[in-house]
């Protein structure tokens, strides 16, 4: 569906067509989920944030500026929801504002670093012990090929081959996990049909 068709659906929704919102949802939800998941790296969190995004969208869609893209408008809402969600999680994580005196904002770099670590740990756990061992020595412990070979009691040539294969497999796993999450996500609310 192109932008003009999406904008027509927005106009129809504003005029009272209740089915228009369902069509907007169906046309945009995968892109919105992909965006949110890429930012938070957790399927359950992404589902919650996407749910909140569309609930908010339902309330404020009449404020849509026709000079912008529908997806951009929704992604903007999702981005705000991500920030709110992460802030709530931080508060729930036994963070005592009175003891600390202030709430330190998590920088975008820190968020991305934390999410990248979580994703890396998950992928490493899916690899064979041999692949995981080489990747941990080479990229986490920052060991040379020689030191890795000594630690794992294998030849330097084997380290190179295993590293190459492990990186290929890790890349495949990362792509498959991301695609699976996009295709199989089940939102915590029933698909919006009519309200």
pLDDT tens digit string along 18-34?
898 899 999 999 999 98
pLDDT tens digit string along 4-62?
888 888 888 888 888 988 999 999 999 999 888 888 888 888 888 999 999 988 888 88
Of the three residues 65, 94, 123, the one that is the final residue of a domain is 94
Distance, in Å, from the CA atom of 70 to the CA atom of 6, rounded to the nearest integer, reads: 7
User: In this structure, are 7 and 67 located in the same domain?
Assistant: yes
Residue 176 pLDDT exceeds 70: yes
Please tell me the chain's helix, strand, coil percentages from 3-state DSSP, rounded to the nearest 5: 75, 0, 25
CATH of the domain at 177: 1.10.10.10
Domain region containing 83? 3-94
Q: Would residue 33 count as lying in a domain?
A: yes
Q: Would residue 101 count as lying in a domain?
A: no
Give yes or no for a contact between 193 and 22, defined as CB atoms under 8 angstroms apart.
yes
Residue 130 pLDDT exceeds 90: yes
Question: How many domains, the chain?
Answer: 2
Report the residue count for the chain: 195
């Amino acid at each position: 569906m192109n932008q003009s068709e999406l904008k027509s659906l927005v106009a129809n929704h504003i005029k009272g067509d209740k089915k228009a919102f369902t069509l907007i949802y169906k046309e945009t939800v995968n892109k919105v989920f992909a965006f949110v998941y890429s930012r938070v790296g957790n399927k359950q969190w992404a589902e919650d944030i996407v749910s909140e995004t569309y609930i908010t969208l339902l309330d404020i869609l009449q404020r849509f500026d026709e000079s912008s893209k529908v997806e951009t408008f929704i992604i903007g809402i999702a981005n705000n929801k991500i920030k709110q969600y992460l802030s709530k999680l931080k508060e729930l994580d036994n963070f005592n504002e009175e003891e600390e005196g202030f709430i330190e904002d998590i920088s975008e770099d820190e968020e991305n670093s934390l999410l990248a670590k979580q994703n890396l740990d998950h992928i490493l756990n899916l690899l064979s012990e041999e692949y995981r061992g080489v990747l941990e020595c080479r990229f986490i412990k920052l060991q040379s090929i020689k030191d890795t070979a000594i630690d794992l009691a294998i030849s330097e040539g084997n380290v190179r081959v295993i590293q190459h294969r492990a990186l290929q497999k890790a890349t495949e796993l990362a792509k498959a996990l991301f695609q699976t999450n996009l295709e199989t996500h089940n939102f915590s609310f029933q698909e919006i049909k009519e309200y």
